[in-house]
Amino acid sequence: MREMIKMVVVLTVLSSFSGGLLAALRNGTQERIEYQQLKFVKGPAIRAILKGCSNDPIVDRFKIKDGDVERSFFVGIFDGKPKAVAMESIGKGFGGPIGVMVGIDVDADKIAGVGITTHSETPGVGARAKTDPTFVAQFKGVPLADTFKVKADGGQVDALSGATVTSRGVSAALTEASAVYKRLKPKLIEKLKTYSK
Amino acid sequence: MVDQKKFTVSHAPFWHDGSCIRSRSYHTMLAALPAVLFGVVRYGMPAVGVISLAVSSAMIWEYVMNRIMRRDITIGDGNAALIGLIFAMLVPASSPWWMVIIGTFVAIVVAKQIYGGIGGNPFHPALVAVAMLMLSWKDLFDFDAALVNYEFDFAMAYPLAALKHFGTAAVENFTPGALLMGNQIGAVGTPFGLGLIAGGLYLIVRGFVRWEISLSFLAGIFVTAFIFHQADSARYAGPAFHLFTGYTLMGAFFLATEDSSSPVHFIPMLIYGAGGGILTMLIRNIGIHVDGVVFALLVMNIANPLLDKIRPKALGKVF
Amino acid sequence: MAKTLTQEFVKGLWEEIPPFRLVLGLCPTLAVTKSVENGIGMGVATAFVLVFSNILVSALRKIIPAKVRIACFIIVIATFVTVVELLMQAFTYPLFLKLGIFIPLIVVNCILLGRAEAFASKNGVLASAADGLGIGIGFTLALGALGSLREILGSGTFFGKAVFGPAFQPFSFMVEAPGAFVCLGLMLCLMNLAGKK
């Protein structure tokens, strides 16, 4: 009996000690980790989309509540005015979720640019969505539509050859981004005004 | 009932039937000679260079490994030279010298000697080497690009690559007869189908190679290619085309039949050969590689110990 | 104590160098040694966890009940692995991205549990620290050596810098998974040859 109690006590104390330590460490590093993630994973895509902006979009970010989820928006300031926002949406690809960063020109309701952030697509096939700049370049300047579909499904998107599933995932992410943008536009405009100089 | 006479064994001395490693090696090299000579005539000095470098470096590696492992020097049995020759037949005539030497290093040191030398290798050494080189230097194994300096009076395209990229319309000009006569681009020793078949038949008649493996390999290719061709003749070429291109004939007579990596019983041999053929066609038609013989045979080599478990039950043994 | 601290430390560098002599911890050894940087990064992370888990396990060795000792060791190891993971995310994010899943997998690395069970639970704190440091550095060296061999042959670079002239055609088989096995096997073979004399 004594041994039993000792076991329970030792395990409990060890676990709670470890839990406490980790919780404290996590609190301490959370902000830095988030910044690092933004900088290394989403940063390149955001910078490519909002090319030529005069601010650092990773610093100028804000969140808007969309139902239950919070969405981050990255602001691009051109000529002193917040003209474009970038947001991330997720589409289902061949090897898992594909993170798609979508930049939207707020004045014209057009896509300012698209970039892939995270994915687990097949190298040399679906992964070309990220490595082949011509694929995402086709979206630049396209007006926001209700749905984006690949040409094989009767839509407007040129699919990557051999990677239709990936292209469909990217299209689905664009569709979602476009819906979210339309839903949140009033709030978005409000927030953006604070960035005007 | 069991025929008792079959189990009668007389006592020593036994009569040796004269078969030994050396004669096997040299007869196999002799059988490969027509195809090799054809390659030499077709590709000239570079082919001679590749062949002599491969054979000599294979023998040197064997000697070095024998010395390091303090074993008897076995270069005299001709097996290393044979592996070198078969390896040379599988690479393009334009292979740079360092690729040949790395290839024979992989074949002899990694794939043969480390596994315990002759008879202990689970894979065909030359196949391991070629697979490794194919994965590493795709550009040098691109037969179209490798042979760009040659002028021939027939279509200058590697048939399998043309098929992969442009469909059957691109390979209509390759008649089976022309392919058999070697009017195609390929490695040093693989384009001349007739020579390979003659060599293979010689080996089968002399009993160095089991006909079951060769035949079932070719049958596996034929049947699978036929099914694919029937399903979609615009994308998949017919069986005759597949039988006479790429490494098919080389695989059937020289690669699949290697002693220690192929089964010894009748039914396993049929499964082994047919499996190799079917996998080859699946890789060629669906996979991303242009020719599937190398990978298909490596896979079947791994399966070989399992296949060999399919055998007649030993009399009186209870499992 | 039969051995001095120095001896405990030195044995991990050659006599009991983990992947080659103990043949433990092969999963990260094979998976992350595509380049020297990855190999050394993984080695340092493992060494860090090893030293601290050894110290803690040996400090607690009188308290931990024998019946649940494995569970306790795993709690200790897992805690430090999570610490390393969080720290790497916060400070060396690009390296964390490259090592990815293999950082959390340090938990199941046999070296850690092996040293906790075989050494730290039977020896004093200082000796355990020396042992952990020695084995950890040995592991780092081994991973670095394997990483250099594979990177030099497979990509023609060393720490990302080209070592050969532009004519060099990389032996890309070496950075693929099967190349790791062949490479490790050859190195083991050479180690045994060298150790024989």
Task: Please state the domain extents for chain A.
Answer: 46-193
Summarize pLDDT for A117-132 with one digit per residue, the tens.
877 777 767 777 777 7
Q: Does A12 touch chain C (CB under 8 A)?
A: no
Instruction: For an interface test with A, give the residue of C52, C89, C99, C172 to mutate (most A CBs within 10 A).
Output: C89
CB atoms near residue C60 (< 10 Å)? 18
Rounded (10°) angle between helices B211-231 and B193-206: 140
Percent of chain B at pLDDT exceeding 70: 90
Instruction: For an interface test with C, give the residue of B64, B106, B132 to mutate (most C CBs within 10 A).
Output: B132
CB atoms near residue B131 (< 10 Å)? 21
Q: How confident is the model at residue B101 (pLDDT cuts 50, 70, 90)?
A: very high
Judge whether C172 lies within some domain.
Answer: no
B55 CB-near residues (< 8 Å, 6+ apart): B81, B84, B85, B88
Token reading at C1: 């104590």
Please report residues of C whose CB lies closer than 8 A to that of B102.
Answer: 171
Of B74-88, B301-315, C127-141, the range with the lowest mean pLDDT is B301-315
Summarize pLDDT for B115-174 with one digit per residue, the tens.
888 888 889 999 999 998 888 887 777 777 666 666 666 666 777 877 777 777 777 777
> Which residues lie across from A98 on neighbouring strands?
A91
Give the model's pLDDT for residue B48: 92
Summarize pLDDT for A68-103 with one digit per residue, the tens.
777 778 887 777 777 788 888 888 877 788 888 888
Asked if A71 and A64 count as a contact pair (C-beta separation under 8 A), the reply is yes
User: At residue A62, what are phi and psi to the nearest 5 degrees?
Assistant: -145, 165
User: At residue A65, what are phi and psi to the nearest 5 degrees?
Assistant: -80, 130
Q: How confident is the model at residue B81 (pLDDT cuts 50, 70, 90)?
A: very high
CA distance B255 to B240: 20
Selection from B6, B94, B105, B7 nearest residue B56 by Cα: B105
Give residue B37's Cα distance to chain centre. Answer: 17
Say if residue B304's pLDDT is above 50: yes
Instruction: For an interface test with B, give the residue of C155, C173, C175, C196 to mutate (most B CBs within 10 A).
Output: C173
Give the model's pLDDT for residue A16: 93
Give the model's pLDDT for residue B7: 63
To the nearest whole Å, the CA of C50 is away from the closest chain A CA by: 16
CB atoms near residue B68 (< 10 Å)? 12
Task: State the residue range of the domain holding C55.
Answer: 5-148
C124 Rama class: left (phi>0) / alpha (psi -120 to 50) / beta: beta
Selection from C135, C189, C101, C24 nearest residue B109 by Cα: C189
Give the model's pLDDT for residue C1: 45
Asked if A101 and A42 count as a contact pair (C-beta separation under 8 A), the reply is yes
Say if residue A136's pLDDT is above 70: yes
Nearest residue of C to residue A12 by CA position?
A: C72
Query: Of B110, B133, B139, which has the smallest distance from its Cβ to C182's Cβ?
Result: B110
Q: Residue C111: what residue type?
A: I
Preceding peptide of C28 cis, ω within 30°: no
In whole angstroms, how far apart are CA B59 and each of B55, B66, B83, B189? 6, 10, 9, 20
Specify the number of domains making up chain C.
Answer: 1
3-state DSSP: chain C helix, strand, coil percent, rounded to 5? 75, 0, 20
User: At residue B281, what are phi and psi to the nearest 5 degrees?
Assistant: -65, -35
- What mean pLDDT is predicted for residues B240-253? 88
Give the DSSP H or E segment for C52: helix C36-59
Q: What is the ipTM of this complex?
A: 0.74
CA distance C116 to C131: 10
Summarize pLDDT for C21-64 with one digit per residue, the tens.
777 778 778 888 888 888 898 899 999 999 999 999 999 888 88
A177 CB-near residues (< 8 Å, 6+ apart): A87, A89, A100, A102, A104
Give the model's pLDDT for residue C179: 84
Burial of residue B238, with CB atoms counted within 10 A of its CB: 0-12 exposed, 13-18 middle, 19 or more buried = middle
How is residue C169 annotated by DSSP? -
Token reading at B270: 């049929």
Asked if B214 and B250 count as a contact pair (C-beta separation under 8 A), the reply is no
Give residue C48's Cα distance to chain centre. Answer: 10
Domain boundaries, chain B: 21-146+156-307
- What mean pLDDT is predicted for residues B211-220? 92
Give chains near A: 3+ CB pairs under 8 A. C
Say if residue B300's pLDDT is above 70: yes
> Which residues lie across from A71 on neighbouring strands?
A64
Contact assignment for C90 to A32 by CB distance below 8 Å: yes
CA distance A64 to A69: 9
Selection from C182, C102, C106 nearest residue C150 by Cα: C182
Q: Does domain B21-146+156-307 have CATH number 3.30.70?
A: no
- What mean pLDDT is predicted for residues A33-53? 77
- What mean pLDDT is predicted for residues B35-60? 90
Q: Which of A26-30, B59-63, B75-79 is the most confident on average?
A: B59-63
